[in-house]
Amino acid sequence: MRMSKLFVQTLREYPSDAEVISHKLLVKAGYIRKLTSGVYNFLPLMWRVLKKVENIVREEMDAAGAQELLMPFVQPKELWVESGRWDVYGKELMRLKDRHNREMCLGPTHEEIITSIARDGLKSYKQLPVNLYQIQSKFRDEVRPRFGLLRGREFIMKDAYSFATSQEELDKEYQNMWQAYTKIFKRCGLETKAVQSDSGAIGGSVSHEFMVITDTDAGENDVFYCEHCDYSANSNHAISNLPQVTIDGGFSKAEIVDTPNVGSIEDLSKFLNCPQTVICKALVYIVDKAPVIALIRGDKTVEETKLMNAVGGLEIRIATPAEIEELMKENGFNAIAGFIGPKGLKKYGEYEIKIIADKTVTELKNFVIGINQTDKHLVGANWGIDVELPKQIEDIRLVERGELCPQCGKPLQVTRGIEVGNIFQLGTKYSKPMNAVYLDVDGKAKPYIMGCYGIGVTRTAAAAVEAHYDEFGIKWPIQIAPYHVVIVPVNIKDELQMSVAEKMYEDLKSKGIEVVLDDRDERAGVKFKDADLIGFPFRVTVGKTIQEGLVEYKIRETGEQIQLKPEDALEEISKAIKAVI
């Protein structure tokens, strides 16, 4: 490809709406352009990168025995009603109606469709196990589309679904996919860590996320891990053991005390001169539409996904002050956040108020708790005497750095990660309600035991930028670079320079190496800048030294720069590419 013809426009500045480096660089270097919120045009350079990622995914999925198919992007409501998800999948599901007023949605994921395909075609145990996958655009009306391709609304995903006759068969396929994923991300130039995770709206029990570890804002997940054993988990799933702390508040009798304007745990602990660990905090949440009160030890934080799972919901948020006011009134109280307690809370609108206690509160003695009166707290409280211990006790606590590893007891560390893929054991979550069954050896109809396995193709490409860049631009890993090499003749009017550059261009092409010849009549500095920004793994500069028969060969990744004969430069490039592809 000649640079003069390449459809690319690099910018002088980063786009003003970009927060993370991959978003900034992909726009500045002319890879993507925003069409509307969370929706991007993939320009030719980007499309080449994405096709490479797709091909790596395809090759490894095929090698692992999975079969590729392609399902429609538009899905009918009926299948979603069958699975039970039409009513529970929130606003992320983009719903629409056709001219006959039939309801449809844009595919955010394809469990319903694949399960319907399986029940039509997989009738006997003899046909199982099977793993089917596709690579396709998905649409999710994300609450907060951001970070460019990392969290878009329309994005490309590889989604695979396996069907098995037993848990053992599923376990085997789960391991098989785990290995395929490890190879895929490695080939994309990414180091990943497989961490235990929450199964969320997709459902199921066992699941792992493949994280690219980062210390930047682009890592939307907190990952807890142990340096002494193999424990690692997303914060929405992580558990830990707590170091021993004071749990006896030491108040000699139960009494209501004035706590004027001390609504925060920090202020309350100072005001009462007691540790935060002896305060029972009560927070009001709305899960789907129902009110939930979460009780947790004062020094700890509620992990919202854990709480949501504890009540079997799909969406969670903290209640607004207005909702709290209303809820209080309805139950005969008058209190604002900071003074809430579980006692006497029954109903809110058509819902019963659920009260969930974190394990940390169960051991409290002579503790401090809100009583639904503003500016008052009860001190010296005890479960079963002053306040009922809620029936539902769960782990709804966010783990913190330094708490103890649940496997080996050493302190846990925390870092951030970009989730590029995940694997889930679904079991019969879809096959049962959708009556997707096969005939087993014993002649009985049984639902398939399913697994599902996703990879964000667009997110993986963006994550590769997050992992490989410098102040000048992108440093693509060779395997997914849009082109391998750029040849830069310093002065296109110099006949010798140009003829050597043209010859190298042809030679590289004939070896199957993807090369761009920067034949623009621009200053060398401009061309170098673009080469670094776009991120070609190798640059060959043909300048004055060609009179001594030498070109300059530069490796983008390391910045290493050497003078070589053109044929030697060609050899070096071939070798480097062969080593990884």
DSSP state of 373: B
Whose Cβ is closer to ligand ATP: residue 129's or residue 421's? 421
Give the C-alpha separation, 24 to 475, whole Å: 14
**Does 140 participate in binding ligand ATP (rule CB under 6 A)?**
yes
C-alpha distances in Å from residue 208, one per residue of 192, 198, 560:
12, 8, 38
Question: Quick one: 178 or 351, whose CB is closer to ligand ATP?
Answer: 178
3-state SS class at 142: coil
Angle between helices 566-580 and 495-510 (to 10 degrees): 30
Distance CA 294, CA 398 (A): 13
Is residue 422 a contact residue for ligand ATP (CB under 6 A)?
Answer: yes
Nearer Cβ to ligand ATP (176/305): 305
What residues are paired with 242 via a beta bridge?
Answer: none
Q: Which residues contact 84 (CB under 8 A, 6 or more apart)?
A: 433
Minimal distance, residue 185 CB to ligand ATP, in Å? 11
Considering only residues 27 through 86, tell me which ones interact with ligand ATP, judged by CB under 6 A.
none
Q: Is 566 in the site for ligand ATP (CB under 6 A)?
A: no
Residue in the structure block whose two tokens are 């745990």: 265
Report the residue number, 95 or 529, with the smaller CB distance to ligand ATP: 95
Please say whether the beta carbons of 517 and 536 come within 8 A.
no
The residue (of 153 and 377) whose beta carbon lies closer to ligand ATP is: 153
Q: Candidates 5-13, 55-63, 456-464, 527-535: pick the segment binding ligand ATP (CB under 6 A).
A: 456-464
β-pair partners for 450: 163, 427
**One residue of 18, 66, 157, 550 binding ligand ATP per CB under 6 A:** 157
- Residues of this chain, 76-135, that bind ligand ATP according to CB under 6 A: 109
The closest alpha carbon to 20, from 389, 466, 411, 367, belongs to 466
Place of tokens 């426009």: 9
Q: Which is nearer to ligand ATP, 366 or 422 (CB)?
A: 422
Q: How far is C-alpha 117 from the chain's CA centre?
A: 28
Q: Considering only the stretches 21-29, 374-382, 414-422, 523-531, report the one whose residues sit in contact with ligand ATP under the rule CB under 6 A.
A: 414-422
Pick from 148, 313, 342, 421 the residue near ligand ATP by CB under 6 A. Answer: 421
For ligand ATP, the closer of residues 338 and 454 by Cβ is 454
Rounded CA-CA distance 74/80 in Å is 12
Instruction: Please give the Cα distance from 505 to 570 (Å, whole number).
Output: 10
Which residue has the CB atom at the shortest distance from ligand ATP?
A: 456
Q: How far apart are the C-alpha atoms of 207 and 192, rounded to whole Å?
A: 15
User: Closest distance between ligand ATP and the C-beta of residue 209, in Å?
Assistant: 7
Q: For ligand ATP, which residue of 274, 420, 517, 534 counts as binding (CB under 6 A)?
A: 420
- As measured in angstroms, the least distance from the Cβ of 155 to ligand ATP is 4
CB nearer to ligand ATP: give 152 or 489. 152
- According to the binding rule CB under 6 A, does residue 315 interact with ligand ATP? no
| By the rule CB under 6 A, 459 interacts with ligand ATP | yes
Show contacts with ligand ATP in window 495-524 (CB under 6 A). none
Query: Least CB distance from residue 513 to ligand ATP, whole Å?
Result: 30
Q: Which of 155, 185, 251, 553 binds ligand ATP (CB under 6 A)?
A: 155
CA torsion angle 283 286 290 294 (round to 10): -20
Q: How far is the CB of 163 from ligand ATP (least distance, A)?
A: 18
User: How many C-beta atoms surround the C-beta of residue 83 within 10 A?
Assistant: 21
Our CB check for ligand ATP shows the closer of 33 and 503 to be 33
Cβ of residue 216: shortest distance to ligand ATP, in angstroms?
16
Q: Running DSSP on this structure, what letter comes out for residue 43? A: -
Q: Does 259 bind ligand ATP (CB under 6 A)?
A: no
Asked whether position 142 contacts ligand ATP by CB under 6 A, the answer is yes
Q: Does 458 engage in binding with ligand ATP (CB under 6 A)?
A: yes
Question: For 326, what's the count of Cα atoms within 13 Å in the CB-facing half-sphere?
Answer: 9
> Coil, strand or helix: which one is 193?
strand
Name residue 485's amino acid.
V
Which residue, 134 or 366, is less far from ligand ATP as judged by CB? 134
Say how many residues touch ligand ATP, by CB under 6 A: 16
Nearer to ligand ATP, 153 or 527 (CB): 153
> Under the criterion CB under 6 A, does residue 338 sit at the interface with ligand ATP?
no
Nearer to ligand ATP by Cβ, of 68 and 568: the residue is 68
* Runs of H (alpha helix) within 92-133: 111-121
Q: Which of 189, 451, 454, 535 binds ligand ATP (CB under 6 A)?
A: 454
Which residues in 172-231 contact ligand ATP (CB under 6 A)? 200
CA angle 532, 536, 541 (to 5 degrees): 75
Contact between 86 and 77 (Cβ < 8 Å):
yes
How many beta carbons lie within 10 A of that of residue 98, not counting itself? 10
For residue 319, what are the contacts with CB-CB under 8 A and spacing of at least 6? 284, 285, 286, 291, 327
Q: How far is the CB of 556 from ligand ATP (least distance, A)?
A: 26
**Region near ligand ATP per CB under 6 A, out of 4-12, 164-172, 327-335, 455-463:** 455-463
- Residue closer to ligand ATP (CB basis): 176 or 236: 236
CA distance to 127, 194, 242, per residue, from 175 (Å): 20, 12, 32
Dmax over CA atoms of the chain, in Å, equals 97
Residues forming the site for ligand ATP (CB under 6 A): 109, 140, 142, 151-152, 155, 157, 200, 419-422, 454, 456, 458-459
